Structure 1
Amino acid sequence: MTAPARASYVERRRPPRGARRSRTGIGAVVLLGLSAVGGMQLVRDSHDVTTESFANLSAAIAPELAPSAEPTPDAFGRSGEVKVRFTLPGEPIEFPLAIGGNADALQYQWVTVSDSVAVGEPRPLTTERPIAPKLPGFYRIAIVRDSARTIVSEPALAVMVPFDRKLGNWLNGYRIGTYLSERIGHTRGRPEVPVGFVEVKPELLDLPLSKHLKLADFVTHDDQDNVWPKYVALNPRLLDKLELVLSDLGGAARPELAIDVHSGFRSPSHNREVRRAASDSRHQYGDAADVQIDANGDGKITLTDEIRVMLAVDRVERAHPDLVGGLGIYTSRRYRTPYLHIDTRGKRSRWTG
């Protein structure tokens, strides 16, 4: 669940070309003046330029170089389409932002996704890792300068409930059940437990997790329809892999290729009720999904579609070995239409059912 380390977490960059100039035209004059000073520095010692004159120039140009912040491309995963990052409460996180302009006075603050309410006091926006909110939920980062606040819409931040908050079968009134390692102890080669659970409230069901996937796609289909909040284990690597598969199938020619998620997260409690489900099913750990994809866009789900998807999964795994995992195709007459199981378990596995 933790993103790979980066050399720096906040990147400073130049403002975009064509940045807005002030109505008085001072900006153009100041820029010319600054260029002249730069030319003098090529032939004179830097101490020859007085501190006072440089300070005056800096003060004049500051309004022109308005601070800005936007996520860097790697903030959205390998696919470039993952819209949420995951962490635990109060943890330092990697949240790649490109900072432009005079950013010395910038701060950051978290706001809730549902109503943009600020959480906690603003903190300095430095090269150190931002600190996640202390309470579980979905947040956006806001860039604060003086009294102005700009909310960065994507990616959002999902602060999970740590696994150890689960008491027996239950987490905050929601039945999850117990994991295999909780019942028999950890054994080599067997998965342990998820790092944490995403808290799901009714108003967040349609929250986009990636270009084609939303939070509702991963909620357990059990008998707790009226129990809120619900909880979901979800690994962002699964989101990335599914988006890469869709990109491979559709590309620029078919960017609106759709995916139907039959089953995302399965709580251990629900998994034990599913016929023929493995006791250590990857669905319980948040890195598996049963899906259907209309690969040729004819409005029907056929075996031909799913074979095309399987080939796309193989190509994605060759290109991204860290996303390797299980791939199963289900074509039995018990199912109205064929579907696929895709996961990111870390080793290659193939089967039919």
Structure 2
Amino acid sequence: MMRRRTALIASGFVAILAAVIYQPPGELLAGSSADSYRRAVPRVAAAMATKGSSGEVRMHFVRAGERVAFPLDIRGAQSTLGFRYQWVHVGTGESADVMRPVDGDTLLAPLTPGFYELAVMRNGVTQRIEEPRLAVLVPFELKLGSTLNGYQIGRYPAEWSRNEQGEKPTGFAEVHEEHLDLPLTKHLKVRDFVTHDRQTSWPKYVAVDPRVLDKIELVLRELARRRGEEQADFTLEVHSGFRTPLHNSNVEGSARDSRHLYGDAADVAIDADGDGQLTLFDAYRVEQAVDWVERLHPELAGGLGVYSSRRYATPYCHIDARGERKRWRG
């Protein structure tokens, strides 16, 4: 009797152990409630319309509390009913605003300047949308004289002339050291638009117009097309992005009202033919690509300066999106 009981206990233990060790294949679990729940969660992403005509813009620059065009691509749901959103700080992931319902293609920007990512929630499931990010600006009106929070910016031509209707940036992105490598586009980063002055204090302040970001990416795409390539992988050097008026006044040959002051210009050197060198022929190819992009996208019309003088270490091009066509050589 004792032997029989021992045998039963042993066989029961083996059965339990086998059940614990055995993991049924995934296809047998496909109908389980957990798997069904996972499949039922709609996938949320930023719609392509948020990334410009190039599809490569990865940062929006907006005023605090502004309604931002930010359509969402939701797969697995018929509407936005039940979805809520919240902006979170880049890097820390800490919430920066209250939860709000998704009620259309526009979202309300946070009230505090900074860099943000979007978090979308439904039925207790949160999804982070890392791109495009949002840069909420410090309003231009908070600049006191020539400084903003201790950072020397200088005065704009409209300020010197006391022209209230004169052109000024909407505001400035507040940049700390940890923000320098945040992507603006596929090929451009925040550091590319920070003024190359000698100020060592942080934060720094930067004006950026997303139109020039979109335009540069379209130029790179056109260069790739002319090389018979699908991917725009180029060596790109940004000599100058945003310039404060103070710094611009010390740049030899710069215009007093340079487009660099308004964040819609960049001086770039692009290895257009991919031979590993930056030459005059590269600059000419960039010039042709800019002309073509402006024909296809007249809303991005602007200036193009080809700088090929021997006094420059390498030829480069000034590209801007001022709204009207301008051409020059230097």
Q: Which bracket does the TM-score occupy, shorter chain normalised?
A: 0.7 to 0.9
Partner of 2:31: 24
Contact 1:114 1:204 in 2 (8 A): no
Partner of 2:171: 196
Offset at residue 333 of structure 1 (A): 2.0
What is the CA–CA distance in structure 2 between the aligned matches of 1:227 and 1:322, rounded to whole Å? 37
**Which of 101, 116, 121 is equivalent to 2:93?**
116
Contact 1:78 1:240 in 2 (8 A): yes
**Which of 216, 229, 251 is equivalent to 1:242?**
216
**Any residues of structure 2 matched to 1:282-293 within 5 Å, and which?**
282-293=259-270
Partner of 1:182: helix, strand, or coil?
helix
Partner of 2:305: 328
Partner of 2:186: 211
Contact 2:72 2:105 in 1 (8 A): no
TM-score w.r.t. the length of structure 1 is: 0.80
What is the CA–CA distance in structure 2 between the aligned matches of 1:187 and 1:130, rounded to whole Å? 30
Partner of 2:215: helix, strand, or coil?
helix
Partner of 1:66: 41
Structure 2 residue 290 is matched with structure 1 residue 305: no
What is the CA–CA distance in structure 2 between the aligned matches of 1:165 and 1:21, rounded to whole Å? 62
What is the CA–CA distance in structure 1 between the aligned matches of 2:81 and 2:261, rounded to whole Å? 45
What is the CA–CA distance in structure 2 between the aligned matches of 1:289 and 1:120, rounded to whole Å? 33
What is the CA–CA distance in structure 2 between the aligned matches of 1:315 and 1:84, rounded to whole Å? 25
Aligned-pair RMSD on alpha carbons?
2.3
AA of the residue aligned to 2:204: K
Partner of 2:305: helix, strand, or coil?
strand
Instruction: Tell me whether 157-166 or 122-131 shows the greater mean CA deviation.
Output: 122-131
What is the CA–CA distance in structure 1 between the aligned matches of 2:121 and 2:99, rounded to whole Å? 7
Structure 2 residue 142 is matched with structure 1 residue 165: yes
Change (3 A) 1:70 1:304: same
Partner of 1:227: helix, strand, or coil?
coil
TM-score w.r.t. the length of structure 2 is: 0.85
Partner of 2:11: none
Contact 1:79 1:244 in 2 (8 A): yes
Offset at residue 62 of structure 1 (A): 8.3
Unaligned runs of 5+ in 2: 1-26
Partner of 1:153: helix, strand, or coil?
strand
What is the CA–CA distance in structure 1 between the aligned matches of 2:271 and 2:301, rounded to whole Å? 23
What is the CA–CA distance in structure 2 between the aligned matches of 1:238 and 1:92, rounded to whole Å? 22
Partner of 2:304: helix, strand, or coil?
strand
**Which of 54, 62, 86 is equivalent to 1:79?**
54
What is the CA–CA distance in structure 1 between the aligned matches of 2:178 and 2:38, rounded to whole Å? 40
Offset at residue 92 of structure 1 (A): 1.4
AA of the residue aligned to 2:157: L
Partner of 2:24: none
Which structure has the bigger radius of gyration?
2
**Any residues of structure 2 matched to 1:31-180 within 5 Å, and which?**
65-102=40-77, 103-127=80-104, 129-180=106-157
Partner of 1:296: 273
What is the CA–CA distance in structure 2 between the aligned matches of 1:169 and 1:349, rounded to whole Å? 30
What is the CA–CA distance in structure 1 between the aligned matches of 2:137 and 2:292, rounded to whole Å? 32
Partner of 1:93: helix, strand, or coil?
strand
Contact 1:181 1:187 in 2 (8 A): yes
Contact 2:303 2:320 in 1 (8 A): yes
**Which of 126, 151, 159 is equivalent to 1:182?**
159
